[in-house]
Structure 1
């Protein structure tokens, strides 16, 4: 128990786990989670559930979440919604693009610290689910309460803020150096941030993003269908403007090869993607299929030749893992997404996402070697090489990180 807890054990609350053999009360360590990416009634729609899944997997701990959402521009208002036990959504006003970032985060620190004290909650550990924003809040709260903290690193999101605020690089390096642990979502992010933070590579652990994948199954289907799966609202970042002309380029190479773009979206995004198809003259090779029910994604992937998604600056891309668990090869962006986890020649092709010619080369490579790559992925599944992406494995590793930080 940390000093604050010891001094105030009669007043502050820890999570209860029952009673030990001698009848003594047993308490769970209390972990405070600071996140701008935790789904809540105040958060942006269509937010990924990755952070929520990770927090929910931390059995044996009391997990208190403050989910924060920036609103508008000028102003200092902060409003909270307690929407579930140990779940608080916060709406706050602040400038966009990282302007006034430290001042905005300091206001949140003061609000959260006061709220914890008012609720009589003693925390034992803090997890900042991103370095560049959440980490500022977590490091100050850790100093306030005398507890350790750890930081996740999300390659694209943290990288974007890092590039926008070079004046804060020194501050972020101090936060990283003082953290008990740093956890990146992919090997490439660990390598990149170890240089940016001036830390040895061994100082940054790697933990995949947690998805809802089922058990891996091989695919022996030989298909002419290439599938690209994403929400159409994000088409600019998913590389579709490069993939469509690349598909048109390879049309003559493979008779019958076609691309199915699958995913929900509104009328505007559907029109925008349809316009890209029309301008490329690719209506014979490319179809817009709309959304599929969640339960049908595995069947859709497993019956396809490959997943093609040359996305721009992808932090992880859970859909790549879903494709590998469905037994099909993937075309993914080199230096982003799942790059570094597995050898490209065993799972598909790592393309230069800004180069339609290289994307086309990747499509040809995977389609002409479809069966060999599917057999390679089946062997990876059988060898357990994909086990680290399974939710139970990620949960186990995450709980180990939390326990290690608690000492």
Structure 2
């Protein structure tokens, strides 16, 4: 359902991957409808209660449907990969028992965390699923640390595999700029911390700093979202310092980032945030949420500032820190690029690690 997961699956050379993509589309009933949209690709729409109610029953129905479908098509499986622990993990554990094969589970910090918090009565079952999995793979170090405590497994039991983006080669940025960029799909502006970021921009001006700084908000989205963000800017009296640029072609993102002073995105409950990696590959520092996103991969003092996403004052401190030390941070990022410290985020490295996990699980 996401380009990142599609890239990961397509990177598994030497394996036949049969994908069942499951989406809840209704609140009542127990209907299941499937669409075979490509070879070995099945999109499933199913009805179930919202907010995780009746979760076990719904996942058991899906497991039964998938098992019957595999048998009907004469497919013998060797391994099951659950995309999310708290939902697909239930399906995977049932199918693994049905077919006598191992399974592994990915952990997506925000999505899995949300379901975990909503269903404390299922914590014991999820711990059993995690204990029986051949491997657990989190998208970031903070998620591995957090879920190791929640699942009661040692931290080393959870591997870390970055989300696969489309940028392969890093480049350095040597420009000095007063332009700060915030890049995201505008439909998600409430979660991207834009309200706090605009307030932080205004507070830096009020404190007598950053007189020439400009915040460019970049990204597409529905007309309603444009109107809502524009209203935020107007209400804050920030039109002189903050502007909406709209979407840019994918081929222009690297150039846009490389010509900027920094990427600022104090998003809330961010699982990974590929745009942070894109910014680092473009050679510019990042302001990102502490305890979320890419936190734990690299020292914040080498790449920018890890802020408290809900605190405009701390975001303002981060803006001042990065803008004041812009050139030093860009040189630090260039050095990290030269040292190969960003190589783990490259698609070929992620693909290699993923294939190793699959091979080890099958073996």
Above 0.5 in TM-score? yes
* Alignment correspondent of 1:98: 52
Partner SS state of residue 244, structure 1: helix
Match of 1:189 in 2: 143
Higher RCO, 1 vs 2 (CA within 8 Å, ≥6 residues apart) = 2
**CA drift at 1:306:** 0.1
Q: What corresponds to 1:16 in structure 2?
A: none
- What per-residue deviation string (whole Å, max 9, x for no partner) do you get for residues 224-255 of structure 1? 00000000000000000100010111123012
Distance 1:271 1:216 in 2: 35
- 1:328 counterpart residue number: 284
Alignment partner of 2:74 out of 104, 117, 120: 120
- Could you tell me how far apart the structure 1 residues matched to 2:144 and 2:34 are? 34
Partner SS for 2:104: strand
Among 234, 244, 250, the residue aligned to 2:204: 250
Normalization by structure 2: what TM-score? 0.99
Distance 1:174 1:214 in 2: 38
- Give, in whole Å, the separation in 2 of the partners of 1:141 and 1:200: 26
Q: Once the 2 structures are TM-superposed, how far is the Cα of residue 214 of structure 1 from its aligned partner? A: 3.0
SS at match of 1:144: helix
Q: Which runs of 5+ in 1 are unaligned?
A: 1-38, 40-47
- When Rg is computed on C-alpha atoms for both structures, the one with the higher figure is 1
Classify the secondary structure of the residue corresponding to 2:159: strand
Root-mean-square deviation (Å): 0.5
1:368, CA displacement in angstroms? 0.4
Counting matched residue pairs gives: 361
Distance 2:134 2:210 in 1: 52
1:300 and 2:268 are equivalent in the alignment: no
Match of 1:154 among 97, 101, 108: 108
- Match in the other structure for 1:361: 317
TM-score scaled by structure 1? Answer: 0.88
1:341 corresponds to which residue? 297
Deviations 1:127-166 (A, max 9, x none): 0011000100001000000000000000011000000000
Q: Which has the larger helix fraction? A: 2
2:180 is the alignment partner of 1:226: yes
Gaps of 5+ in 2: none
Deviation of the 1:281 alpha carbon? 0.7
1:380 lines up with 2:324 in the alignment = no
Which of residues 102, 107, 124 is equivalent to 2:61? 107
* CA-CA distance at 1:267 after TM superposition: 1.0
Match of 1:172 among 102, 126, 130: 126
User: What residue in structure 2 maps to residue 57 of structure 1?
Assistant: 11
